[in-house]
Amino acid sequence: MDQKFMDLYDDYAKGSLDRREFLKKLAVLVGSTAAAVALLPLIENTYVQAQFVPVDDPRLHVENIKYPGETGEVLAHLARPKGEAKLPAVIVIHENRGLNPHTEDVARRTALEGFLAIAPDALSPLGGTPDDVDEARSLMRKLDSETTMKNYVAAVNYLKTHPQSTGKVGCMGFCWGGGVTNQVAVNSPDLKAAVPFYGRQPAPEDVPKIKASLLLHYAGLDENAGIEQFEAALKKTSVEYKIYMYEGAGHAFFNDTGSRYNEEAAKLAWERTIAFLKEKLKT
C-alpha cells in the first residue's frame, strides 16, 4: 500500500479531513472518484490490520468482557498469558476514536509482558465503538467527562478484585486516553502506576490527590502546553514521577497505524513503560 494513501487516511482518521474531503483528495491521487471508492476498503483494511500480536496468538487467552461501571456495563477487550495464576493488571485507554484494533493490540502486547490487561471502550454507554471512524469520533464528543472517568476508575476496582489479579493495578493511555489516565490517577487512590502518552495534564490543585507513580511520555514536536505547570505541581508533592521528552517525534508517535509513527521513539517509550510497570506492579 502506497504510503501517501496511508498518510492521507491518517489525516482523515484523526479528524483533519472529513470524509468528503478525504475522498476528493484520494480521487486526485488515484485518478477518479470511482477508483478512490474502490480503493478505500483496501486502505482501511491495511490501517486496521496493522498489529503486533494477533487475536488468536496461542500464548494468550483473549476475550471481550463487560464490567460494572458508573453508566452500567462497560465493554472491554481482555488479554492475559495462558497458564498464569495471579498477575498484576494494566488498563489500556484508547485515543479519541474509541476502542479500535490498534488499542486492543496494545492490550495484547501488554499481556505478553506478563500482565492481565484490559482495554475498556469509553463509548460503551452509547452502544460501543462503531466501525465508522467519523461516527466514532462524533460519539466521543458526546461523552460526559465525569462519568467517563468514573467508568475507568471502576476498571481499577474491577481488576483489583479480579480472581486472576494480584490486586496491583496500573494504567496507560494515549492522546485522549493519556488525559484520562491522568484523571484516573487523580481519582483512584488504588492505582499504583500511571503512564500517560502525550495526555492532557490534570489541574495543579488536583495533583496532590495522586497516589500512583507516574511515567510521562511527551513528543518533542507536540505543543506540550501545561508540562511546566504540571511538573511544578508534582515537585510540591511526594508523587514519584519521571518525564521523558522524545525529540524529533510528533504527537501520536506510538501509534504504528498512523503516519506520525516514530519507530525509534515508540520502541524506547515501550521499553521504558514495561520496565516501569514491572517495577511498580510486580515488586
Q: Is 10 a catalytic residue?
A: no
Average pLDDT over residues 150-175: 97
Least reliable range by pLDDT among 27-31, 145-149, 162-166: 27-31
Do residues 145 and 44 both lie within one domain?
no
Which residue among 10, 121, 175, 217 is the active-site one?
A: 175
DSSP string spanning the chain?
--HHHHHHHHHHHTTSS-HHHHHHHHHHHHSSHHHHHHHHHHHHHHHHH--SS-TT-TTEEEEEEEEEETTEEEEEEEEEETT--SEEEEEEE--TT-S-HHHHHHHHHHHHTT-EEEEE-TTGGGTS--S-HHHHHHHHTTS-HHHHHHHHHHHHHHHHT-TTEEEEEEEEEETHHHHHHHHHHHH-TTEEEEEEESPPPPPGGGGGG--SEEEEEEETTS--TTHHHHHHHHHTS---EEEEEETTPPTTTT-TTSTT--HHHHHHHHHHHHHHHHHHHH-
**CATH code assigned at 111:** 3.40.50.1820
Shared domain check, 98 and 17:
no
> Looking at the structure, do residues 41 and 61 belong to the same domain, yes or no?
no
Verify that 25 and 87 share a domain, yes or no: no
Q: Is 222 a catalytic residue?
A: yes
Which of 77, 102, 217, 251 is an active site residue?
Answer: 251
- Identified catalytic residue from 57, 190, 206, 222: 222
Average pLDDT of the chain to the nearest whole number:
91
Residue 2: predicted pLDDT = 60
Domain that holds residue 68: 54-282
Residue 160: pLDDT band with limits 50, 70, 90: very high
- Would you say residue 14 has pLDDT above 70? no
Q: Are residues 172 and 219 in the same domain?
A: yes
**pLDDT tens track for 116-130:** 999 999 999 999 999
131 a catalytic residue: no
Which pLDDT tens digit goes with each residue over 228-272?
999 999 999 999 999 999 999 999 999 988 778 899 999 999 999
Model confidence over 78-96: pLDDT tens digits? 999 998 789 999 999 999 9
Same domain, 79 and 203: yes
* pLDDT at site 25: 87
Count of domains in the chain? 2
- 268 in the same domain as 229: yes
